[in-house]
Structure 1
Amino acid sequence: MKLNLNIRKEIRIAAALIALSFLIAFSERKQGGALCKDIVVEIENINDNHFLDEADILRLVEASGQTLKGTSISRIDLKAIEKKLKYDKHVKEAELYGDLKGNLIVNVELRRPIARIVQEDAPDAYISEEGIVMSISEKFTSRVVIISGRFVKQLLEKGDLMKFEEGKKLMEMLDFIREDKFWNAQIAQMDINSKEDITIYPQITGQLVEFGSPDNYEFKFKKLMVFYKEILPQKGWTKYERVNLKYEGQVIAE
């Protein structure tokens, strides 16, 4: 008797799995075979960085050269459109798919900026959290640390900080600043010369910080914190014009 009950139970489970598989397959066929009635744009993290809006994404999709509305979604080259969208440096990820209503869903994730490149003789640019250099937008201005100086030309030429050693070092330092609440609020600008020497312009204290290269950045920030906590309260916040962290084991204030 127990054997029969177990067999019946297994048959019911198998039947349920077959029915579920059929429904999934039917749903996929229906989505793929449906005609594209409309294009729906979904943008993730748009409140964090409004570089592109729905109209911008729609223009990129429609510029793919494919006839979309009225065409079976299964016949649209979705991968080609995704590739075109990701060609825009502001776009981190793009995914296209059809829903049961015949809508072509365009889901886009935008890159987040962590620094702004400023130069006198060329347009500004942003650096994303992945190290990608991307153009500025008239739609949105992000309040991030400013990077200036001769070194920025090299950043612009490379286009991706993670593709060369000096860029990787700078990205590590920028990530450290961004993840630390105090330094993220304190550092307004970093001027970097052709030898990678960094001068930091702080938000609150008046001293220029001659930081040197990004090497040993954590240790240098620890030295700077000691200067802020122990030296300035005793000597006065306006006594020094600059502080030098370049030399190991020393903090030179002038």
Structure 2
Amino acid sequence: MLRKFEYSWQFFKRSLWLILPVLGIGMAESRLGGQRCNNLVISIEGDSGAFFLNQTDVRTLLTEHGGDPLIGERLDEINLGELEYRVKKNKLIKKCQVSRDLKGNIVVNVEQERPLARWVNTSQNGEVQSAEGFYINDEGDFFPLSDSFSARALIVSGAYFKDLKRFKGKEGESLMDLIRFLNTDPFWKAQVAKLDADKNGEIELSMVLGDQKIEFGTAEGFESKFNKLHLFYEEVLSKDWSRFSRISIKFQDQIVCE
């Protein structure tokens, strides 16, 4: 009889370890549901050099320009998924997560898009024709320019970027790899001022030093081309940056200069 009592007592204690947390969560949820929204706590993450949006912009998106103020509303009546949808409609935002805390706040974590390049519309001689354009992120997706902030990014131009199906297809993967390379390699990031890709994917690079135009060919095998160009910089151009105005590295195993 004593052994049966001890077994029941052990079972009861173990059950408490399972029941109490569930009860605690239930009580917290019940208490939280009865609370009203005290504040909107907004955190904006992403590239430290990009300021496309500020907290006021995110608050405007959350409240639909003040039409749904949220503060003072019951937390259990606020649809968090709907708030995330409102914020993510802005194409400058990559991710958004909305939750609520035990203090009665709506907590909003936003991650901005990070631009790798900025496409600009140029004339045949390379002059910018208008302020229109778009940014390109690490996945090769386009997102709009910001009215309040212009991010420093690699300038790209040319008809190839207008053919979205081609650019997002397998053929465009090499070009995106090249753009990523120019964002991560310290030397070439400092040297390349602009990348132009025509409708056939033929690339021309405009350089910072010497004002040379580099006929690059397609993006295929770009790393070996840059290795060849780097050697040319060290052996020839470093002695006289103004010696040539045009350099072609599009042909295998040779460099043609004018």
Q: TM-score range by the shorter chain?
A: 0.7 to 0.9
Structure 1: state its 5+ residue gaps: 1-7
**Is 1:44–2:45 an aligned residue pair?**
yes
Pairing 1:106-121 to 2, within 5 Å after superposition: 106-119=108-121, 120-121=129-130
Structure 2: state its 5+ residue gaps: 1-8, 122-128
Q: Which amino acid aligns with 1:152?
A: F
Contact 2:47 2:114 in 1 (8 A): no
The offset of 1:15, in angstroms, is: 5.0
Q: Deviations over 1:171-214 (max 9, x none)?
A: 11111111111111111101111111111011123321111111
Root mean square deviation, CA, Å? 3.0
How many pairs does the alignment contain? 246
Contact 2:136 2:143 in 1 (8 A): yes
Q: Paired residue for 2:155?
A: 146
With over 3 angstroms needed to count, the CA separation of the structure-2 counterparts of 1:213 and 1:37, relative to structure 1, is: same
Q: Which amino acid aligns with 1:106?
A: V
Contact 2:34 2:76 in 1 (8 A): yes
Pairing 1:82-101 to 2, within 5 Å after superposition: 82-101=84-103
Contact 1:48 1:112 in 2 (8 A): no
Secondary structure at the counterpart of residue 104 of structure 1: strand
Q: Which amino acid aligns with 1:247?
A: F
| Cα separation, 2, equivalents of 1:61 and 1:196 | 42
The offset of 1:39, in angstroms, is: 1.9
- Greater shift, 172-181 or 126-135, is seen at 126-135
With over 3 angstroms needed to count, the CA separation of the structure-2 counterparts of 1:101 and 1:35, relative to structure 1, is: same
Pairing 1:68-217 to 2, within 5 Å after superposition: 68-119=70-121, 120-121=129-130, 123-155=132-164, 163-217=168-222
- TM-score normalized with structure 1 length: 0.83
| Cα separation, 1, equivalents of 2:88 and 2:162 | 24
Contact 1:96 1:106 in 2 (8 A): yes
With over 3 angstroms needed to count, the CA separation of the structure-2 counterparts of 1:239 and 1:122, relative to structure 1, is: closer
The offset of 1:248, in angstroms, is: 1.6
- Greater shift, 11-20 or 196-205, is seen at 11-20
Quote the sequence identity (%): 35
With over 3 angstroms needed to count, the CA separation of the structure-2 counterparts of 1:214 and 1:107, relative to structure 1, is: same
